[in-house]
Structure 1
Amino acid sequence: MSESIARLVMRTTANNLPLSRDDRPYQWSTTTYCDTLNWSIFRAAQKGSAMQLRIREYHRTRPQGVMNPGAAWIEFKDDEEDTSLKERFGVSMDVARAFLRGEMALPDPDHGLAERAGRLLKDGARPVVVTQYNRLAYNSLDTAVRITADHNLMYFALPWEARDDNDHPSPLGSLLAMEPDVIVEMKWYGELPHWAIDLHAYLKENTREERPSKFIVAMRWLLGETDGAKKRKK
């Protein structure tokens, strides 16, 4: 949506929710997504059901590569048609690298989404695309309502040859696309408060169309299958 509409939405949000404790305002979020050689995760995601494996980093200035030394978050996300389940592990980047190499780097790796992610790695899943953006995030204290606005969203390729076993950051590949608008997302569980019901209705009225996930958009740009968030080419 346009900057002016997003500004109005986030002003209303700020009047009702505190800033997220996990997301510093406007810091750079860099997310590296994995897929297999035959793009099985992407193909499943387009059908509405996929297990995503991604590595997230946060920086004050935009990094020129991924897998930088410091803190990282390994995230597993299981998307179904009407539900989404996510597990998140805060680790050092050394641990994240070890996990991507298939090593037993996480606690209890044989249970939950971690076990499924391990199977994807055995099937050849490796980092392939990257998103970078500035995020402004608010959520309720019980995390039942979360509203985010992403600015300067960019999609990058990550060359296969960048995925070696050394401990150096992997440089970003080609810039695939950059979103001209602000991406606002509203997530919740349970019953929405009245102000949030009105805000959600306003968002629907002022949103051109339902957007697919950042991973799907990035992969479509990578494979040349679409003009970003628009419908796929036939």
Structure 2
Amino acid sequence: MNAKDPITVLPTDTAVSQRAARELLSSIEQAQRSFGVASVVLTGGTIGIQVLRDVRAFVENGFTEADFSKVEFWFGDERFVARASDERNEKQAREALLDHVGVPEDRIHAMGAAGEFETVEEAAEAYARELTAHAAADSTLPRFDVLLLGMGPDGHIASLFPGTGLIDAQGLTTAVRDSPKPPPERVSLTRSTISSAREVWLVVTGEGKADPVAAAFAGEPADVVPAGAVAGVESTRWFLDEAAHSKAAERGA
């Protein structure tokens, strides 16, 4: 967390989700004007999927000029379970948004599933190859215009959990075998890949997130609060409701 990072605090989780959705659509429009095609990294979790539902509602009501046939969608992490599992971020994102707004299938870059890869390590390596195959010029990664993150009550982001050393994982992706939150096996982008995005947005709501938000703002070590250890190249933005911001507010942050 940098003291200059933009912080948006709104009264409720609904207000946070809707603001993030509106601003995501605006960012997609801007990226399409600049580059022709926008590139967005999605997150799961309650608030992450609600943002996608709100994006869909805005699209269906004609409140955007974004062209979803020209958006590349990536994922920040994924549970290593069967493709059809309701636990997969991909399935939830499809149901909330992707299957309803005309995104071409080849622009949805899903992480590998159990049953399609023998091990979670193989799935992580395959996603790293997918990233490299779509890399921007002079890079091993695609251009990410906006990378969305939620945060757990322990301060984790993507599937980089505190106290595990995963925040220091090398390479483009990492396999997770002993996640403290089930299921135990996951694939995640690494800290360096996350921080390659032009903008990193952390969308966090609820009183249960207040302590790690305050700790991130206070600059606690990366392996204690991974959420405070990532930063976008151009901007790192926090979207918080008052409950999640409450402890940081008490400290004047």
Larger Cα-atom Rg = 1
Output the TM-score relative to the length of structure 1. 0.26
Give the strand-richer structure, 1 or 2: 1
Give the helix-richer structure, 1 or 2: 2
Output the TM-score relative to the length of structure 2. 0.25
